[in-house]
A and B are shown apart, each in its own frame.
Chain A
Amino acid sequence: MPEQKIKHYQAGTFVVGNRLLDPEQRSVQARMERSNSLTSGHRACQGCGEALGARYVVDAAMRATDDKLIATNATGCLEVFSTPYPESSWQLPWIHSLFGNAPAVATGVAAALKAKGRDDIRVIGQGGDGGTLDIGFACLSGMFERNDDVLFVCYDNEAYMNTGVQRSSATPPAARTSNTKPVGGQPGNVFGKGKNAPLIAMAHEIPYVATATVAELRDLEAKVERAMELRGARYLHVFVPCPLGWGSASHDTIRLARLVKETGLFPVFEAEDGEVTSVSRIRRPVPVEEYLKLQKRYAHLFGDPPNTEVIGQIQARADRNIRNFGLLPEGDQSADLPGSAADLAGERPGETDPIGTAEGETSLMRLLASSPHGPQ
């Protein structure tokens, strides 16, 4: 990732204005020549994390490939809000086939390009968490195993939003969805074993796996750029809040994406060939309540009295991630508020530390061995 020591003073957001960066490091979105691949006029909800994530991912990929990019798309919100025929928001060649086959369609596109000797044209597949982790999972795993030259991007908003907010295998414990309501003594979604798609992707030992959130868009863009430097199967898992499904305010999308990382609930990291190569450390650790309270899908946990037991279980999951991925800031500087000495010393948001320097070994095997999602 590009790196530049800078100072910034915007309390609260940790976001650095583009004008403080070298032109080369500025966001794709800040450039005149951005492709606007997912252009305005589409029908995403106000504050849609998926629309934001897709815009940055595809534009970054377009820039990385000199606009020679083909996209395949699973059925889902992204497909529906962008292409109610005859309108289309896509300004790149784009195909939607089915809900569960976007990775396999991408495989076919890549194979056709290879047969035609068009190695200059690259392929990206896109889907939501349902299309990726549930119904499309076999096709995704097959594409990984064959190491087809495809970047697959999962925009994870943790449920089937397009069909009316039903639970997916990415829905977190205790979350209320349309079919995991906190009724009949149930706490919302069950505490299952989980399905950690990035770790499963890593187990295929594909060239590149990364996670990102829409709170750190330069980090997201940098990961897309890195992915496009490589050939073979690559996977990018982007955390995208959904105001409609989560019962959060539209203006809290970025805040929630930041908090999910800062609580440790969503580890942001990169891995190459099955090995974690960097983690994005937590800048200012926060308890999970700060994240949960902003979302009506967790409102049942904050009654009178609050359900401290379930909140504690969620905190325990965050703590496990923090331990397993080594997410704490170096030296556990938990009180580094914006403007503090450490901040002014020039830490960059989304800064990545090579793994192993502070936290020791974090290979996939260790993660799997210690993760509650892995084989026990």
Chain B
Amino acid sequence: MRRQEEGSRAVAEAVALCRPEVISAYPISPQTHIVEHLSDLVRTGDIEPCEYLMVESEFAAMSAAIGASATGARAYTATASQGLLYMVEALYNASGLGLPIVMTVANRAIGAPINIWNDHSDSMSQRDSGWIQLYAQTNQEALDMHIQAFRIAEEVSLPVMVCMDGFILTHAYEEVDIPEQKQVDAFLPAFRPRQLLDPAEPVTIGAMVGPEAFFEVKYLAHAKQMQAMDLIPEVASGFAREFGRESGGLLRRYRTEDAETIVVALGSVLGTIEDVVDHRREDGEAIGALGIKSFRPFPLEEVREALEGAKRVVVLEKCLAVGVGGVVSANVRMALSGIELRGYTVIAGLGGRSITRESLHRLFDAAVRDELKPLNFLDMKTDVVERELSRIHQGHSSGSHEQNILRDVGVVAAEPH
């Protein structure tokens, strides 16, 4: 049914259609609306049977999901930012134990300084946690990816993170098509766990493994993600057959066929990028965009194939690997090993800074003239940074960077040091 809906509520409706049996919830912005709506749906009996656990932390949220999943229940939770970091130990445990938990990450920056707005620092920090990571471009895709996520998770026995941009998607009202229960039931069979805590057939789960076998077990985690690489497009095309629209998959190519310049990105910013690509195409520029939908597993071959004909690749990413530069671009470079083309990393949108069409036009103007540096910071106030750096250089205690910078940009009315 098509209706105007907030992204969070749309995702909650999708999760409900997947018949979760245990939902653990802990509040953190900007994912709160998702678990709030799920609470309503459990209380009204719209999700039944289902236990809704109001736990005391994200660490407990993931731990309860682990216990539930190991007992054969379809388990779901949602988090963001600091919450994701607080559950990190349990994240690795869930993937190590092969438990097909599905979690929404409403992407948000990580402090300090504390910041509730969107970027990808949170989920990117967990790229090696063993979870499958899918990134939604629109609310419709976020909704659809959750239905696909349960299917993928349960088929390969791995947990799946569906990442959607905090506020930009979670709090945006858009028209979405919410499927019928019988459609989802046909697409998503009942959960049949690979191993189960059952008194009728006792098993030990989570035993200690030494150097004689740990390496192989870890490799199998990788091998399972490689299986998922085949499965994700299969599930996406099955979804397209069942529901009549394209969602998910490994990649989205947008006007890349003859493109000399290809912009690589993840998440909702792809919408803006595609708009800008359309404008520039109208002006005759050979430019396209490549959206990465599955960051883990990372589709090396498909990315290579999509980019190898280009002259230059601009990776625009909403996270910063402090001390080196890009996170996504490091993976893209791995895909391009041995191919000669110009590669640029652009860090953009940290902590919710808007990525506008004007900025992207300026960026792509510089890109096509090959005037970009290897590492670029889109719309960063360099004068402010330089002033603060010079204060540091003066050697005396100059107080907090945040205060100084806010003063420089005029948010705090006070005399500078």
Contact = CB atoms under 8 A, between A and B. Distances in A.
B68 A109 contact: yes
A108 B208 contact: no
A93 interface: yes
Contacts of A92: 199, 202
Contacts of A69: 199
B66 A111 contact: no
B75 interface: yes
Interface string A70-107: 10110000011001111010111111111011001111
Contacts of B196: 93
A339 to B, nearest CB: 46
A181 to B, nearest CB: 29
Contacts of B213: 85
Contact of A90 (B49, B65, B66, B204): B204
A164 interface: no
Interface stretch (A135-143, A231-239, A256-264, A352-360): A135-143
B73 interface: yes
B63 interface: yes
B59 A84 contact: no
A311 interface: no
Interface stretch (B29-37, B50-58, B137-145, B404-412): B50-58
B24 interface: yes
A369 interface: no
B75 A85 contact: no
A112 interface: yes
A67 B292 CA distance: 50
B221 interface: no
- SS class, residues of chain A in contact with chain B: mixed
B400 to A, nearest CB: 30
Contacts of A80: 208
B208 A84 contact: yes
A166 B272 CA distance: 56
A54 to B, nearest CB: 14
B56 A109 contact: no
Contact of A138 (B54, B56, B197, B208): B56
B205 interface: yes
B59 A100 contact: yes
A63 to B, nearest CB: 13
A98 B210 contact: no
Interface residues of A, number: 45
B73 A112 contact: yes
Contacts of B75: 108, 112
Contact of B203 (A93, A100, A106, A114): A93
A221 to B, nearest CB: 20
A115 interface: yes
Interface string B187-218: 00000000011110111111111100100000
Residue of B89, B197, B201, B213 contacting most chain A CB atoms (<10 Å): B197
A97 B21 contact: no
A111 B70 CA distance: 11
Contacts of B179: none
Interface string A137-157: 011011001100000000000
Given A92-B202, A115-B51, A97 B73 contact: no
B97 interface: yes
Given A112-B22, A115-B49, A142-B60, A97 B97 contact: yes
A113 B204 contact: no
Contacts of A16: none
B93 interface: yes
A195 interface: no
A119 B63 CA distance: 21
Given A105-B66, A108-B53, A111-B73, A70 B93 contact: no
Given A96-B205, A109-B197, A111-B64, A116 B73 contact: yes
9 contacts: A83-B207, A94-B202, A94-B204, A100-B89, A105-B63, A108-B63, A108-B69, A115-B68, A145-B56
The 6 A-B pairs at the shortest CB distance, nearest first, are namely A108-B67, A142-B56, A112-B73, A104-B63, A101-B63, A96-B206
Given A85-B210, A98-B90, 8 more contacts: A95-B197, A97-B66, A98-B89, A104-B64, A108-B71, A110-B67, A115-B73, A139-B59
